[in-house]
Structure 1
Amino acid sequence: MTQQLQAPRRTPLNRDRVLQAAVALADAGGFESLSMRRLAEELGVVPMALYKHVANKEELLDGMVAILIGEIDPPVPGADWKNAVRLRVLSARRALQRHPWARRAVESRTNKTPAVLGYMDSFTGMFLAGGFTADLTHHVMHAIGGRMWGFTQELFDDPEAPPAEQSPQAQAAMFEQLAARYPNIVAIATSKIHDEGSVIGHGCDDQFEFEFALDLLLDGFERLHDQGWSSGQARLERR
């Protein structure tokens, strides 16, 4: 009796499988290689099948960034704020180095997703927990910029600022919702009177933030100079 060969069962498509395949595709070919059509080919499905799990490429990239964030170590319990921040940044850098596409993806996210806001809230929380005021943390975050993601870039926008056309009542309701979910972000975002004409981020004073970061760097340079610092000695001390 001839036995009929059964076709192998295809692994069901779901959102996680789509996102993981997108990460693998971008890891192999870079940010530019990622397209919905190419991803569908990798998964052995028609492109329309992907849209049941991600609405468009922007949502796909949001999901990929969420995967990246999931690979970054959480704050180390019991560590002082300086070590906690340093370890977090180095963990983010390692995640970024594993995924060369990640910097482009992070920089392309104009709308802050819950995963991104959660990471930013946790990051600012390390300074607040270390005794920093909301005012100082506001400027510290400007100085850190993209280093919180493991790379350097220009300053990023203040998170989730309400659109100017919203009524005062709608703005108040939005901030109330944000404050309940992302208290650390809202604390620093509302800690200063802002400059509405800023090009750095919604309402932040360009010149002040630039000088704050510059002075911070210069103070560090001065300290190292006074110590007689050299890169060779620093490398020896790190071994």
Structure 2
Amino acid sequence: MSSRSAERAGAQPTRRAARTERTRLSRDGVLQTAVRLADRDGLDALTMRALADDLGVEAMSIYHHLPNKNAILDGVVEVVFAEVESEVGGFGVPPTTDAANWAPALRERILGARRVLLRHPWAPWIMNARGAPGPNAMRHIDGVVGIMRAGGMSFDLIHHSLHAIGSRVYGYVQELSDDGDAPAPAQLEQLAGLAPNLAAMLAEVAHDDPDSTLGWCDDQTEFEFGLDLLLEGIERRRAAEARD
């Protein structure tokens, strides 16, 4: 056998192996693995090489299904919102939704999204960085709009309300700051000279919450407080709009 023939013989199994590798991969399988990798090791660990290692394939096989890192980032957000859809029992409008119960329906929809995002704490970073939501996230928003519309609101009020709710509609909120550790008495005393009202508030409300994802504040309580405040205000506007 000539050297060229031997080279062709050796190349054929390699090409067949590559085709088999691509065949047994799927876009959904790659993205599900990417979600597990980000959950386990953090978003910084989600590299093409790490993903390929987890899948047991060459990195080039991934590009056959997802052309670049941005496509993977967009894709994992879509996987997360598919999980949201399952968590909340679908993105459709509950058939019983009306002016009397739109707020509880919307509250549960948003808190369902939050339960999922707390399982994937890296997702909000991607959503903030990448901007435009994918189809699943859009269908989530469409359901939110549908709930408010079934509650009797005008599209104008719904539009303003979505701006007010902001990222809470997706289940997270961009906090004013990271709380860090609860302020020590010496820190409060030092702060009092610069910002006496803030220092007095912190001295009154500071508490240690080991289960918080942000610091010493109970961020779930604060999330629900802000959400309820917004829903109560929107309901007042809805009622006023209905009277006009």
TM-score by length of 2: 0.57
CA contact (8 A) 1:31 1:104 kept: no
After superposition, what is the alpha-carbon deviation per residue over 1:187-230, rounded to whole angstroms, capped at 9, x for unaligned? xxxxxxxxxxxxxxxxxxxxxxxxxx9xx76x86xx9xxxxxxx
Q: How many residues align?
A: 152
SS of 1:58's equivalent in the other structure is helix
CA contact (8 A) 2:43 2:122 kept: yes
Separation in structure 1 between the aligned mates of residue 130 and residue 168 of structure 2, nearest angstrom? 16
Structure 1 residue corresponding to 2:129, chosen from 108, 114, 132:
108
The residue type equivalent to 1:106 in the other structure is M
Q: Which residue of 1 aligns with 2:43?
A: 31
SS of 1:53's equivalent in the other structure is coil
The residue type equivalent to 2:78 in the other structure is A
How far 1:46 moved relative to its partner?
Answer: 1.0
Q: Which residue of 1 aligns with 2:168?
A: 147
Unaligned segments of structure 2, at least 5 residues: 1-19, 176-225, 237-244
Determine whether 1:78 maps to 2:96.
Answer: yes
After superposition, what is the alpha-carbon deviation per residue over 1:87-108, rounded to whole angstroms, capped at 9, x for unaligned? 0111011001111211112222
Q: Which residue of 2 aligns with 1:51?
A: 63
The residue type equivalent to 2:116 in the other structure is A
Unaligned segments of structure 1, at least 5 residues: 1-8, 155-212, 224-239
Separation in structure 2 between the aligned mates of residue 117 and residue 82 of structure 1, nearest angstrom? 20
Separation in structure 1 between the aligned mates of residue 63 and residue 126 of structure 2, nearest angstrom? 20
Q: Which residue of 2 aligns with 1:63?
A: 75
TM-score by length of 1: 0.58
How far 1:111 moved relative to its partner?
Answer: 3.0
The residue type equivalent to 2:71 in the other structure is E
How far 1:121 moved relative to its partner?
Answer: 1.7
Structure 1 residue corresponding to 2:118, chosen from 97, 103, 108:
97
Query: What is the 5 A alignment of 1:57-206?
Result: 57-72=69-84, 73=88, 74=90, 75-79=93-97, 80-153=101-174
Separation in structure 1 between the aligned mates of residue 111 and residue 133 of structure 2, nearest angstrom? 22
- Specify which structure has the higher proportion of helix: 2
Identity of aligned residues (%): 45
How far 1:129 moved relative to its partner?
Answer: 1.6
Separation in structure 2 between the aligned mates of residue 130 and residue 44 of structure 1, nearest angstrom? 50
How far 1:115 moved relative to its partner?
Answer: 2.3
SS of 2:146's equivalent in the other structure is helix
How far 1:18 moved relative to its partner?
Answer: 0.2
How far 1:114 moved relative to its partner?
Answer: 2.1
The residue type equivalent to 2:50 in the other structure is R
Separation in structure 2 between the aligned mates of residue 98 and residue 112 of structure 1, nearest angstrom? 19
SS of 1:111's equivalent in the other structure is coil
SS of 2:24's equivalent in the other structure is coil
Separation in structure 1 between the aligned mates of residue 139 and residue 170 of structure 2, nearest angstrom? 13
Find the structure with the greater CA-based Rg: 2
